[in-house]
Amino acid sequence: MSDVNFSSLRSTSRFTRQFNLTCPIALAPMAGAAGGALAAACAQAGALGLVGGGYGDLDWVQKEYNKAFESCEPALHPRLGIGFITWRLQQEASALDWVLDQAFQPAAVMFSFGDSRAFATKVRAANIALICQVQRLDQLPMAIEAGATVIVAQGGEAGGHGMNSQMARGTFTLVPEVADWLAKHSPETQLLAAGGIADSRGLAAAQLLGADGAVIGSRLWVTKECLALTSAKAQSVTAHGDQTARSSVFDVLRGLDWPHPYDFRALRNEIHRQWEHQVAELKHYPDNAQQDYAEGLAQEDYTRAHVTVGEATGLIHDMPSAVDCIRQIATESERRLKGFG
């Protein structure tokens, strides 16, 4: 793959300069969905391509990480990185160790959902940029102590995992508050907004709120290169933003033991409605429901299988290539921002 030239966007932020990007966008490291092809396409489009290392499955990480680097010309390698779910690394960190041992070093490693300080030391020792995703202000001191080059402020609108409804903040207030905090306590640390950003309005707004750019998940999940099933992505194209919910229902159905206070936003389908007010019971007696869910997955029946998108699903109306998607968001956002002088 070769570069797409967005020369007019080149100087937009500290973030684009740090990673030699042409637009201030990072692909969210979506577990199992952001594979090598999607990360490479994002790098080609001028964005930071973060492979979704997720739960740290070594075979998957080796395959998709290698694919990302092999799919890109060497000049684009500084736009490739990987993300991991931090609490899971406390149980199994071989995939992180493998990545840090590669000749092709990642430009960045992103950690989310837990205390990343122990793993951050290894990343910084390898001279790799550290990105830490937070959901609340009170997580910032720990992320700064870990040595984050970039903070991602994730609002509760986001697809996939994040803070539960009691604890989550909205992107629109979290981002400027984090920007103010960083300006006071760690002005050299960059800031990306995440949660609900799926078009040029969202990207421009994120920058106006004080972010150096945006992490985009749901919108890039519904692209050709994403590893999710086409039938699942198609569900997002027709859904609107009222049709998602946060809960632990799909974590229990998948047998994932996520720690408090994190849960999961996805389309609120029939199996979700069936269990959303009985999560404690579901946890105690999951077998039948898990079988029901597994059958739904096998049959691509989305009344039972999950579709992992956030509120931004209402802004997603097609399934383009990642390059076309990023090109449109970045170009239009630049035009909108010019209007603000």
Query: CB-based burial of residue 323 (10 Å sphere; 0-12 exposed, 13-18 middle, 19+ buried)?
Result: buried
Contact set for ligand FMN, span 53-72 (CB under 6 A): 54
CB of residue 8 to ligand FMN, shortest distance in Å:
24
Nearer to ligand FMN, 111 or 275 (CB): 111
33 counts as binding ligand FMN under rule CB under 6 A: yes
**Of 83, 156, 213, 296, which lies in the binding site for ligand FMN, with binding defined by CB under 6 A?**
83
Task: Please say which residue, 35 or 83, places its beta carbon nearer to ligand FMN.
Answer: 83
Instruction: Write down the least CB distance from residue 111 to ligand FMN, Å.
Output: 8
Residue 217 interacting with ligand FMN (CB under 6 A): yes
Contact between 151 and ligand FMN (CB under 6 A)?
no
Closest separation between CB of residue 208 and ligand FMN, Å? 18
* Nearest alpha-carbon partner for 300 in 208, 218, 235: 235
What is the x/- site pattern for ligand FMN, positions 115-144, by CB under 6 A?
Answer: ------------------x-----------
Give the neighbor-by-neighbor strand order of the sheet with 25-27. 25-27, 213-216, 190-194, 150-154, 129-134, 108-112, 80-85, 49-52
How far apart are the C-alpha atoms of 59 and 261, rounded to whole Å?
29
Instruction: Work out the angle between the directed axes of helices 200-208 and 322-338 (0-180°, nearest 10).
Output: 50
Cβ contacts of residue 59 below 8 Å, gap of 6+?
none
Q: 312: which residues sit within 8 A by CB, 6+ positions away?
A: 157, 159, 196, 197, 198, 202, 218, 219, 241
Is residue 160 close enough to count as binding ligand FMN by CB under 6 A? yes
Residues near ligand FMN (CB under 6 A) are: 28-31, 33, 52, 54, 83, 85, 112, 133, 154, 157-161, 194-197, 215-218, 221, 308-310, 312
